[in-house]
Chain A
Amino acid sequence: MVKKLFRKRSINVCIVNTGGCNGCDIEIVSCLSARYDIEQYGIYVHNNPKEADVLLVTGPVTLQWAERLKEIYEKTPEPKIVVAVGACALSGGIFKEGHVVGGVHKVIPVDAKIPGCPPRPSEIIEAILKVAPKALAMREEKLKEQLKEKNIGQNEKLKNRI
């Protein structure tokens, strides 16, 4: 609803480092520089999961992070999408044998994956722009339908009571 009226083109991104080596993080940070200028596409990077539309998850999910990541995913408002950045987030990568869960998809549902160790800033921007608008619009419609069904159900309940 809000997304359709006045935040049509804005995408708020939250970086979640679940135990990576920082390589993907600094590539996301260098997207802010004037050469790539991520804000010209309407993407705003900050680390607040409660306002975010897109969760950029980097790194293999360590054992300490498994519960926390679920909590953060639940706290993010709908509609939301998750993008896994880097080889570690895809499958556990080089740390597969270590103290990690291995892959973000084992903990929360993932919408898009960007391979590379680390992926270039241009690839990250491209992936977000390709996935985010469509996925967010689809989620929005689904939510609306759910709300309608809920409302109908509630109305019938009210009628029955009367």
Chain B
Amino acid sequence: MKKITFLFFLTFFTILYTGCQDNGPDYPSSDNPTVVAATTEIYGAPNKKFEIKAALADDLGLKTVRIQIPELSLDKVITFETDPLLTTYNLSYFFEIPADRGTSEAFKIKLTVTDVSNNSVDQEIKLRLDGEFDAPAVTMITPKEGAVILLSTSNQMPVNFTVNDNSGIDFVELKCDALGINELVQLQGAPQSYTFNKTFTLPVTAANYVLTINTRDKFAIPNSGTLKINVVATNEYPALYLCDQPKGTNLTTDAVGVPMYFHEKVGQDFTFKYYADSDNKEVYFLGQESDFAPHCFGLNSSGKLADDVASSPIVLPTKGYYLIKVNPNTLLYTVTKYTPTSKVWSNIANGLWHDDAALRRPFVSVCGGGIQGANWDTWNAWTQTSLHLANNSNNPYQLVGEYTLTGTMECTFTGQWWDPSWRLIKNGIATMSPGGNGNAKYPAAPGVYKVIVDTELERAFITKK
């Protein structure tokens, strides 16, 4: 009797249990899924992402793939759609190695693929952290990006750069189809450093050229890199820049405004407006934006304007605003001090918002991207008081502040609800009337920058502190 009772309850609870199972779709039995890893050994490095690649397949349908590296706290399950069933899947999963892991460490990546019939297979892939992933580093000596070669002076283009790589350099290649340059340097013995130095002759007609430098290293999984340099060969200068920095200064560390782009150009007559913030300010005119070479206009020994990297600076005797005209062809220039007549906005700086309009003091802040604390919401611009610009007590036409840049930046300097506002367009121009020009993006290294908005010059100067 006890046996019968036992069997009855066993049957009853078995039916009950079976009846309570998840009523998901039932799939017929099928073959095991397959997994084919792209490689059985993956190189990684601390603080770097690596990719897990594998081809998954199942004759009926894939259900999940689970990726596990317990030591690195990775346990990811990717669940596939089952309507319709997926029979193949190319796994491409990236994962970043934590920065605190050692380069000598190695782990096993476990892939578990399960199909809809609940068949599963495992695949292990070895992960080494001693990988190298950087392409050879190219350092341009000449020409720099955006270099201007004045054909009337010389049609020779020296190309000089160095290449460095820890795992050794396989080859260096310089190409420029327009100039017929195709130099491939296959290096022997995998040197860690190589210098390329060669001069090419340019046609006498004005043109823009792109030099392409391709490199590859000798790591187990080779890393390749490409650098493109734009060069302008011209009979006249497309632009001139006013530089008030001493020679030798790195002109690429600023985000915006150094050297300063011209204000007006008629033929080769360039006009600058400039504010000398102290007496005896020294300035040069540059034919290119990022370097003092090859065209630097200063004074020669006889006090005349000369295109000479060794020239002396032009000295502006007293503090104040100047109108400067210069012609790089005729090598003539004039310097005229003037008193601005544009609207003074200094009264709006150091603003204080208040619900009561009578107690409200306007302000100028910033909206944009790449600036810590800023976004495109003017409400945010108000509430983030650290973004507010202050009045420069020495110059009513300047608003000053300090921003932390997080990368490529773009911005509009603004008061409440864009009233007033200055949009930062290309060439460092901060203008209230941008016309059709949108906000320009300026690459910048993360860090703290000094900000000057000159409403008379309509220029912004954002320089690293």
Report whether chain A binds chain B.
Answer: no
Residues on B facing A (Cβ under 8 Å): none
Residues on A facing B (Cβ under 8 Å): none
